[in-house]
Amino acid sequence: MTLQPALVNEAAILDGPTVARAVGTIIRAADSRPEEAAPRRRLCSSPSAIRRLHRLEKEIGTSVELYVKRDESLRPLFGNKLRYIEYVLGAYDLLGADCIIHCGGLCSNYLMQLALVGAECKIPMHLIYAAPRPDVLQGNPLLAALFGADIRYRTGSNSRLKAELAEEIAREGRRPLVIDAPFTNHSAILGYMRAWSELKMQVAQNEAAMPDHIMMCSAGNSYLGMRIGADLDGADIGVIAISPIRFADAGLSELAPDRKAFLRKKIDEFSSFIGKPISVRSIDVDESFVGPDYGIPSLEGIAAARLLARTEGLLLDPIYSGKAMAGLLAYVRSGEFSAGTRVMFIHSGGLGNVFTFHDAFGEPPDRD
């Protein structure tokens, strides 16, 4: 991608606001949808496959039609974060960065996938796990280390840890791109606006029927991408996010009083970013299936993961996709969806967490 001098900020640190300004300038100048106009480095083997979950329907005795869009099959070991990373790398190329910084928890699929992309694309990845170093490396942290990322274990707020590391790296003469707000939100929204367009194309090509409802694991960003994409097209479709974390536990109370207000703020920020007004018909994020806490398996999530593995050969992780499937199953069993309703589950990936939390699965329950 040819750099446009007017957009190349001379700051040594490319933080979230700096990246958002540069990418937003390109989007606002283009005569196309935001997800098409934004700089992007293609990584996905898209579209991700869609199939009906016939055996699951039979097992739970429902006349609701259940489908899965397999974003965990975008590429091996990846998942929904790959859709975000495409736009992060687009900004990386645009702005002439020479490394990337991000921070997350030990369960983070994002950090592992960044490490994998870094190894493949020869991009130095500086990753912070906001936790003490575990005694035994397993799951996503193990994979991130194997892929050669520069990994640190620290305690503190994610934004502060990233800012401190960025300053340290910049003093060495490097030009880090920091994955942080607001661009981290925008890249995720763009990624799932693209996923919506992809689904619409698959329907038009008779590869799938348009669902009445989409259910996904999201605390907000990927959900907003799907919701905004559908609303921009005037689609009469429900989109429901099953959140893996409670808003009260997310450390965001200084930004907004509750999740709906917080997501409304994100919509306003994204609207300014793309230079177009956006309104969504509803915000449906359900925190009922978090279980004990973020990053801790729930009994319902484990049961859902076992059920999908046994009936459909699909592996869900107990921290994200397993909890989202537990939510879908509860909605179906409670009669939330009428007979014949088509419900599509977005499989977000998370294979590494299956092995991290192997003890939570234990022995399968006895079955007659």
Q: Are 290 and 146 contained in the same domain?
A: no
Q: What is the pLDDT of residue 3?
A: 42
Same domain (yes/no): 17, 68? no
Say how many domains are in the chain: 2
Which structural domain range is residue 137 located in?
5-38+81-178
Q: Is 314 left (phi over 0), alpha (psi -120 to 50) or beta?
A: beta
Span 21-36, average pLDDT:
97
Closest CA to 267 of 216, 308, 229: 229
pLDDT band, very low/low/confident/very high, at 358 (cuts 50, 70, 90)? confident
Instruction: Read off the pLDDT band of 365 (50, 70, 90).
Output: low
218 and 139, same structural domain? Answer: no
Residues 57 and 20 in one domain: no
What is the structure's pLDDT at 10?
61
| Structural domain ending residue among the three candidates 178, 206, 232 | 178
Name the amino acid, one letter, at 268. Answer: D
Both 21 and 63 in one domain: the answer is no
Tell me the residue type at 187.
Answer: S
Q: How far is CA 79 from CA 44, 149, 216, 304, in A?
A: 10, 19, 12, 19
Residues 244 and 129 in one domain: no
CATH number at residue 340: 3.40.50.1100
**Residue 161 and residue 279 in one domain:** no
Name which residue leads in pLDDT, 166 or 251.
166
Residue 283 lies in a domain: yes
- Please list the residues that pair with 239 across neighbouring strands: 214
Query: What is the model's pTM?
Result: 0.93
Is residue 184 domain-resident? no
Across the chain, mean pLDDT equals 93
Distance, in Å, from the CA atom of 220 to the CA atom of 13, rounded to the nearest integer, reads 27
- What span, in angstroms and rounded, lies between the C-alpha atoms of 125 and 115? 6
Do residues 128 and 255 share a domain? no
Please indicate, yes or no, whether residues 248 and 289 belong to a single structural domain of this protein: yes
Q: What is the pLDDT of residues 267-276, one digit of tens each?
A: 999 999 999 9
Domain ends where: 178, 204, 232? 178
Q: Look at residues 116, 147, 110, 146 and name the one whose alpha carbon lies nearest to residue 130.
A: 110
- pLDDT single digits (tens) 61-96: 999 999 999 999 998 888 899 999 999 999 999 999
pLDDT digits (tens, 9 = 90+) for 266-322: 999 999 999 999 989 899 999 999 999 999 999 999 999 999 999 999 999 999 999
pLDDT at 354 exceeding the cut of 90: no
Q: Report helix, strand or coil for 109.
A: helix
Q: Quick one: pLDDT at residue 5?
A: 39
Instruction: Give a yes or no: residue 186 inside a domain.
Output: no
Q: What is the pLDDT of residue 76?
A: 83
Q: How many CB atoms lie within 10 A of CB 180?
A: 23
Pick 8 or 166 by higher pLDDT.
Answer: 166
- The pLDDT value recorded for residue 312 is 98
Do residues 150 and 266 share a domain? Answer: no
Give 161's pLDDT tier (boundaries 50, 70, 90): very high
Residue 12 forms part of a structural domain: yes
Task: Establish if 183 belongs to a structural domain.
Answer: no
Residues 106 and 250 in one domain: no
Judge whether 44 lies within some domain.
no
Give the span between the Cα atoms of 248 and 35, in whole angstroms: 31
Cβ atoms of 199 and 193 closer than 8 Å: no
pLDDT at residue 230 tops 60: yes
Alpha helices in the chain (DSSP H): 16-29, 34-37, 54-60, 81-95, 109-121, 139-146, 158-171, 183-204, 221-232, 259-274, 299-312, 321-333, 351-356, 358-361
* Percent of the chain surpassing pLDDT 70: 95
Same domain, 62 and 110: no
